[in-house]
Structure 1
Amino acid sequence: MRRVAAGAAVLLGLVGATPSAAAEGAPPVFADAHGLTVVEQPSWVDGNERTFVVTVRTAQVPAYSVMEHQVSGEHAIMVTLPDDYTPGKRYPVQYHLHGHPDRPDTVANQRMFEDATVGVPLITVAPNGSGRGWYTNWAHSPAALGQQNWETFHLDQVIPFIDANLRTIPTREARAISGHSMGGFGAFHYAERRPDLFAYVGSFSGGLDLLNQELRAAIAATTQLPGSGTPTVPVDAIFGLPVWPLDGMWNARSPAQHVGPLRGMGVAMYVGDGGDLLDNPIQAVTENRALATNLVTRDHLVAAGIPHTFINYGNGSAWAEGCTGKHAQPACLMADMRHFVRLLTRHLTQP
């Protein structure tokens, strides 16, 4: 029935026009567009009626390594609308890229988006990036999965798809991108590859320096971990082999060393130092190593004369209650997002 409804929308001439209005209290109705096929229409995640999930398919990533609650080839896109989303108004959009191993449509992400945007006229969109997609077009896509063109999926399909189906302000000046951990890498990588799309970029504990040997080892490890998705994939699948002279793709796609395209864009980085390394040592060390990649990126931004916001909140004690500077800590991430949204309200085009 959902596909029939989408087809009816096409027949009624709604595609390419102003996004169709849903019944009062219902989420928006989406139509296929820009290479994405809607396989499940939006449904509210709860009674607050601010956040919904729409599920699509794309030939750019026809199948992928799945984690729990995922169906290979079906891509969940979670959207949080402003609490004043009304006809006659259009809104700026923040795209937020999840970390590894995570999904876009989690309760934690929903709460972060909704809490940070209370009273803020901003749409937040979180697309699927898979547990190990790494927000890039893969060097060697496994035959069992088909092409893994995550970058093409997100930049060339998801963004215009959202503009076609929601009341967005479809311009660079009204669009931002952010991400956590793996998603922080993705946000900077996408902003550097397509500065024509984004006016602001934010990284929350992102792994930003692909020349860092520890980060290379961690990314290579994600290809082999069942917890990052099944099936596992060859070590060289994503960026190629991480050793000279076969590491050209690693070097070319490292955000830290290619900050030039960010000139004229708002730039923000948030990271802790891990705090007490004996307390939750895995998350502590992970954050500490993320800090190292952020410091390299900051140095390149300074050398290039690119203005930016860099917040190293250390052990988190002065950043947010419950934040102890660990990686993927909800209290830290919430504080990151609240600060970033305040920047966006001052710099993005407003309704």
Structure 2
Amino acid sequence: MTRQPAWVDAEERTFTFTVRSDQVPAYTVLPGQVSGEHVIMVTLPAGYDSTAAARYPVHYTLHGAPEYPNASRTKRIVEQATAAVPLITVTPNGGGRGWYSNWVNPGALGPQNWQFFHLDQLIPLIDTNLKTIPTRQGRAISGHSMGGFGAFRYAEHRPDLFSYVGSFSGDLDLVNPEIRAAVVASTQLESYGVPIVPIDAIFGLPVWPLDGVWNAQSPAQHVASLRGMGVAMYTGDGGNLLDDPVQAVAENRVRQTALVTAANLTAAGIPHHFIDYHDGSTWAPGCTGKHSQEPCLQADMNHFVRLIMQQLQNP
């Protein structure tokens, strides 16, 4: 552990700590990040007592791109959604463009095994040091945008670890050429981290017949392993596309990936919640259906926390 846990504020519900991992020993960084140092943010339930007998379920929630794990917005959303809820929430570092995957061609960066870092190292670390329910029945996972992709991908790859999965406007369909373009763009823009990386670094080249990894890692087409797991997806349609057009169009396009995923879940006979709130007018005050609006994401998280607490083992 690079830096010991430290409370974020005087409320003493949320703390951060920093680790290093041999699975992602260095990574492309956003301003203020140190390559190789991974900040993890944890929100404890109110009244958490390290000496008491009670143990709590854990919700892993994955940030989008290019975002920070300890963003103040994430803290606000999580703390509001979990007020008076007996739930631990963990937000790990996913990098500005990590895509919650083991990269195919990481090159000079060295291993970019984000999946191994999170699932094989971070979860045991949390279970060892916090009063968790360290079983599938005690874990859920969700994420926004890139994080929604990561949540579904992790749940599909390791259904033994999670009993509920949620996507908040996730990029769920890597077969979709627009999502492929977005992933490629993230490799080439410094706003997602420096240095930039080759376009084939994460999933290989995105063109047939070299796109086998893209196809294999696409959550929308591999829902079968979610059978028996709680599944929820949330999306808007962008609302007025002339109002904040970048975020409006982004949400409109990721909605298509949710529609494909929902259709495949239905075809497979897998029950799921699909909350398509369109322009947001009936979802939450201040939500207009855009891609990264805090009121929309707050309503998503509030609803998802209520869902998972009906299914997760808890005190």
If the length of structure 2 is used for normalisation, what is the TM-score?
0.99
- Note the 1:117-136 alignment, pairs <5 A: 117-136=82-101
Aligned AA (1:188): F
- Alignment length (residue pairs): 313
Q: Tell me, what secondary structure is at the counterpart of 1:110?
A: helix
Q: Tell me, what secondary structure is at the counterpart of 1:277?
A: coil
Q: Tell me, what secondary structure is at the counterpart of 1:58?
A: coil
Q: Tell me, what secondary structure is at the counterpart of 1:207?
A: coil
Establish whether residue 287 from structure 1 lines up as the match of residue 236 from structure 2.
Answer: no
CA distance in 1 between counterparts of 2:76 and 2:270 reads: 32
Deviations 1:266-301 (A, max 9, x none): 000000000000000000000000000000000000
CA distance in 2 between counterparts of 1:273 and 1:146 reads: 38
Aligned AA (2:6): S
Residue aligning to 1:296: 260
Residue aligning to 1:59: 22
Q: From 38, 42, 47, give the equivalent of 1:84.
A: 47
Aligned AA (1:97): L
Residue aligning to 1:101: 66
Deviations 1:138-169 (A, max 9, x none): 000121x1110000000000001100010000
Residue aligning to 2:229: 265
Residue aligning to 1:172: 136
CA distance in 2 between counterparts of 1:256 and 1:315 reads: 23
Deviations 1:7-62 (A, max 9, x none): xxxxxxxxxxxxxxxxxxxxxxxxxxxxxxx0100000111100000100001000
Aligned AA (2:112): Q
Cα offset, 1:234, TM superposition: 0.2
Residue aligning to 2:161: 197
Cα offset, 1:84, TM superposition: 2.0
Residue aligning to 1:112: 77
Q: From 35, 40, 46, give the equivalent of 1:72.
A: 35
CA distance in 1 between counterparts of 2:90 and 2:137 reads: 16
Aligned AA (2:304): F
Residue aligning to 1:48: 11
If the length of structure 1 is used for normalisation, what is the TM-score?
0.89
Aligned AA (2:44): L
Deviations 1:194-246 (A, max 9, x none): 00000000000000000000000110010000000000000000000000000
Q: In terms of mean alpha carbon deviation, does 83-92 or 260-269 score higher? A: 83-92
Aligned AA (2:116): T
Aligned AA (2:78): F
Q: Tell me, what secondary structure is at the counterpart of 1:42?
A: strand
Runs of 4+ in 1 over 4 A off after TM superposition: none
RMSD (Å) for aligned C-alpha atoms: 0.5
Percent identity over the alignment? 67
Cα offset, 1:324, TM superposition: 0.3
Establish whether residue 309 from structure 1 lines up as the match of residue 273 from structure 2.
Answer: yes
Cα offset, 1:68, TM superposition: 1.3
Residue aligning to 2:218: 254
Aligned AA (1:278): L
- Note the 1:131-210 alignment, pairs <5 A: 131-143=96-108, 145-210=109-174
CA distance in 2 between counterparts of 1:345 and 1:293 reads: 26
Aligned AA (1:316): G
Q: Which runs of 5+ in 2 are unaligned?
A: none
Is the radius of gyration larger for structure 1 or structure 2? 1
CA distance in 2 between counterparts of 1:56 and 1:286 reads: 33
Cα offset, 1:69, TM superposition: 1.8
Establish whether residue 346 from structure 1 lines up as the match of residue 310 from structure 2.
Answer: yes
Q: Tell me, what secondary structure is at the counterpart of 2:278?
A: coil
CA distance in 2 between counterparts of 1:330 and 1:108 reads: 7
Q: From 177, 180, 185, give the equivalent of 1:216.
A: 180
Q: Tell me, what secondary structure is at the counterpart of 2:20?
A: strand
